[in-house]
Amino acid sequence: MTNLTSTSTNRVASGVLTKYTFPSSSLGGLSTSVNVYVPDSAKSSPAPVLFYLAGLTCTEDTGAQKGGLFNSAGKEGIALVFPDTSPRGAGVEGEDADWQLGTGAGFYIDATEAKWKTHYNMYSFIVDELPSVLKAANLRLDFSRWSITGHSMGGHGALSIYLKNPALFKSASAFAPIANPAVVPWGIGAFTAYLGASAGTPPTAWLAHDASHLLANSTAPKGSLHLLVDVGTADQFLTAGQLTPEALERAAEARGAKGELELRRQEGYDHSYYFISTFSPDHVAFHAKYLKA
Ligand SMILES: N[C@@H](CCC(=O)N[C@@H](CS)C(=O)NCC(=O)O)C(=O)O
């Protein structure tokens, strides 16, 4: 039995993109939308799955419409899942006042602060609820072969979700991720609101969602992690100190497992979807290596 309602369907590359809506229990019962691309190859054999987590201000459509992922995913026989970036219409006071918090800015964590915690549970939504809803719908997706990627806030989501659950995923990648959110303005703002300012500097509850902290302290067998990260050198948020890819490099060094992280600085590219769509075929190829091993 499925509780998914299909609201649109488009043929794209060698597959079909369908938008579904369903009431999400993680999001306090609110309706959420998700775009799911199923390659034609899934008809003969269930497809491995790549999640794409979008950034601040984005929706389930942004990565689908502008990410340039379909041709390579179709060729590799990989399904793509594009979730929304937050609950919509939760009615939390102030949720629409600032593009860096609330609507469009769920940060892929479960809020613990009273004001937000009924609806803002994007971590549970991505890791537990959405896969189980999609499995129940029999879309011919093979979640035993699952990888995750994302951009900016979604890059933080992809890396931190992977590093918290390395056994669930084959690989993770990111475009211009917020690599060390516990110490940069975007992360501090969101984590203070959603998780509160508890003890510790930074608070321990924040570090549990910080990719650089998680990588440095990972107990995954050395050599078992597979991470690709691209950052443009002309990215305005890199310059503003929001992304700090060097923190991820230091974390990889501290962990001391060679070859787990490939971090590429792409000369002249900015934070936009022109950058993402340039390198997204590389990311699909990277994930294909592990999803189809
Ligand atoms: N609204 C922000 C920019 C927000 C922004 O750049 N968002 C990124 C993610 S962090 C994005 O992907 N935007 C959607 C798009 O480029 O289509 C501003 O005015 O500075």
Q: Which atom of ligand 1 is nearest to the CA of 62?
A: 17
Supply the ipTM of this predicted assembly: 0.92
Which of 151, 226, 271, 283 is catalytic? The answer is 271
Residue 181 clears pLDDT 80, i.e. is over it: yes
Segment 232-270, tens digit of pLDDT: 999 999 999 999 999 999 999 999 998 999 999 999 999
235 is catalytic: yes
Ranges of H-type helices in the chain: 62-66, 70-76, 122-124, 130-136, 153-164, 185-195, 204-207, 211-216, 236-239, 245-255, 273-291
pTM greater than 0.90: yes
pLDDT at position 60: 98
Q: What is the mean pLDDT of residues 103-111?
A: 98
Catalytic residue status for 98: no
Phi, then psi, of 148 in degrees rounded to 5: -145, 140
Residues touching ligand 1 (Cβ under 6 Å) are 55-58, 62, 66, 99, 151-153, 271-273
Question: Which atom of ligand 1 lies nearest, measured to the CA of 153?
Answer: 10
Residue 162's pLDDT is: 99
Residue nearest to atom 9 of ligand 1 (CA): 55
Atom of ligand 1 nearest to the CA of 272: 16
Verify whether residue 156 is a known catalytic residue.
no
- pLDDT reported for residue 200: 82
